[in-house]
Each structure stands twice: as structure tokens, then as C-alpha cells.
Chains A and B, each alone.
Chain A
Amino acid sequence: GDSVTQMEGPVTLSEEAFLTINCTYTATGYPSLFWYVQYPGEGLQLLLKATKADDKGSNKGFEATYRKETTSFHLEKGSVQVSDSAVYFCALSTNQAGTALIFGKGTTLSVSS
């Protein structure tokens, strides 16, 4: 069945370091791909999304490119801040009625000053 695999954490970085969180997926058809972020004590919120191959989603300095050939959607940021400390979830939608988003297990990012 459809699934999402993302790198295990925690990821610990110093402020201004480069961030990559890997995400790969398995899906039939042409899914949409998402990155959600969960700050401490809060629910999930959408960070960025991409709906077709080679699309790049971007928001708040984060980017991810939908790579169909490698079935990947890696999250990157050039210079992380302490305020980026959170849990990041990769997810996919099959775009079909009657289905739910499929999530990866989440990656905890901790940024220190």
C-alpha cells in the first residue's frame, strides 16, 4: 500500500546550519506531497506542499522538490533558527475521495544557539 518513510531523528543542529530531512514515498498514481510542522504543545500546520513532479514547495525559508524519479520530497533550509525547533512530518495524499493523508513518523529537529 501507499506509505511515507522519513529519516529518524532527533536531528540536532546549531543555529545557521543547513538542514535536510529526507522523505521518500511509495504510491500508485500521482500523489500530492506535504510537509507539516508541529511546534511544542500545538497541532500540526501545513508548512509547504507540491502537487506534481518537479514542483517546488516553499515557505518560511524551507523548500522541498517533488522528485518522481526518486520518489522523494526532501525538506531543506539553508540556515536554521532556534525557532525552527519542532517536529516535521512528511505526508502524501492520493487525491482520491474517501481517503486520508498518509504520514511519516515525524522527525524532531532541535536547534541550539
Chain B
Amino acid sequence: DVKVTQSSRYLVKRTGEKVFLECVQDMDHENMFWYRQDPGLGLRLIYFSYDVKMKEKGDIPEGYSVSREKKERFSLILESASTNQTSMYLCASSSQPQLGTEAFFGQGTRLTVV
């Protein structure tokens, strides 16, 4: 089975801290994604990566950066955490898009910024 593992289920950080969310997948997928999930807003794409060291901005990249030094690992970085970044963060991976290629999700990290 494909496994996408996020390093933490729950995190509490202080305003202004630099925060790292880590995601690892074990299926040699080319594509990796970071979404945030908020009530009433659904899933919004922050960043994605289609290859090592490659990244593309999603719909809401402001306040975030990403790192993909190895194919299996995709990190989301909050440079200076703010309370409006309190949210559920979901990592996903997929192989190269073909007809019906699905994305596989991690368990999510619930981040609270105080």
C-alpha cells in the first residue's frame, strides 16, 4: 500500500516561530502536494512539486515556502507563523498524471499558532 506519512498529527507553535511540516512518501511518486483545509473553504493548494528541487505555487502560497531535496520528502515551511495559519495541513503524492491517476494523502497535521 502507498504510504504518505506526515511527521506530526498535532503541533502548537508560537507566533513568529519558524515551523517545518515534513511529509514522506514511499511509492517513488514524482508529484507531491501541500494543501490546507479550513471549514467552509475546503482544500486549498499551497504548493506542489513535480520533481526534485522543482516547485510550483498553488492558490495560496503567501507566508509559506517548500523544500524538496529528495524525491520522497516534501517539506512545508512557515517562515514566521501567524495565527491565521492555524489550520489542518494535508500532504499528498501521486505518480505522473495519466487517465485516472489518483492522489494519496497523509493523515494531516493540525497546526495551532498561539
Contacts and interface: CB of A to CB of B under 8 A. Distances in A.
Interface string B35-63: 10000111101001010000010100000
Given A32-B101, A93-B101, 11 more contacts: A32-B100, A43-B4, A43-B90, A43-B106, A43-B107, A43-B108, A46-B104, A93-B97, A94-B97, A98-B56, A100-B48
Interface string A96-107: 111111011110
B97 A51 contact: no
Interface in B5-62: 31, 33, 35, 40-43, 45, 48, 50, 56, 58
Contacts of B90: 43-44
Nearest to B4: A43
Nearest to A44: B105
Interface residues of B, number: 29
Residue from A51, A52, A105 whose CB has the most chain B CB atoms within 10 Å: A105
A30 B82 CA distance: 40
Contact of B40 (A34, A43, A105): A105
Contact of B42 (A43, A51, A97, A106): A106
B99 A100 contact: no
Interface residues of A, number: 26
Nearest to B33: A100
Residue from A43, A51, A52, A97 whose CB has the most chain B CB atoms within 10 Å: A43
A25 interface: no
Contacts of A45: 105
